[in-house]
Amino acid sequence: MLTRIRKAIIISTFAIAMAMVLSVSAWAQDRADFSLRAIDGATVTSESLRGQVVVLAFGASWLPLTRNQMEGVKKVADQYAGRNVVTYWVSTDSENLKSKNFVADDELRGLARKYNVKVLRDPDGVISKKLGVDQLPSVVIIDKRGNISGTASGLDPNADLAKQLAARVDKIL
């Protein structure tokens, strides 16, 4: 009798432990852990942005829709200034001089000034892939706890990106 109880306790403990491992694993997949270099040389990490809603707009400077995307990101930044919402445009342009998609930081600084946006770099696409970006342009929204709250892939040139992003940001604020 005592052996059956011990076996039941051991099996129950094992089942609870497995459930905890699986739930932590599923939770970790939704976490948006990243570290990106800003064009001014600083490093921006997901940990440094905890407590804020983060809008990461991934694009490439050579894409025609990039200008629309940057304008939308700027409008969202202005609309939510002072409300714990930060926006970044993330360049996936290469830093390799030999690449046909090479873009220097100086060129990106020009875009940043023109559109008044903060620019980060993801030249190898490691972070964009990690966050589920499968096409450009795309946007990833991260909640205050550091979880991916929403994504938007592609960009309709006739749609109001700022309005679309604002609706999503409002839901998680």
pTM summary value: 0.81
Q: Evaluate if residue 161 carries a pLDDT over 60.
A: yes
State the Cα–Cα distance between residues 136 and 128, nearest whole angstrom.
10
Look at 7 and 70; give whichever has higher pLDDT: 70
Coil/strand/helix, residue 19: helix
72-121 pLDDT, tens per residue? 999 999 999 999 999 999 999 999 999 999 999 999 999 999 999 999 99
pLDDT attached to residue 18:
43
Is residue 155 very low, low, confident or very high in pLDDT (cuts 50, 70, 90)? confident
- β-strand pairing of 53-59 with 138-142: antiparallel
Coil/strand/helix, residue 69: helix
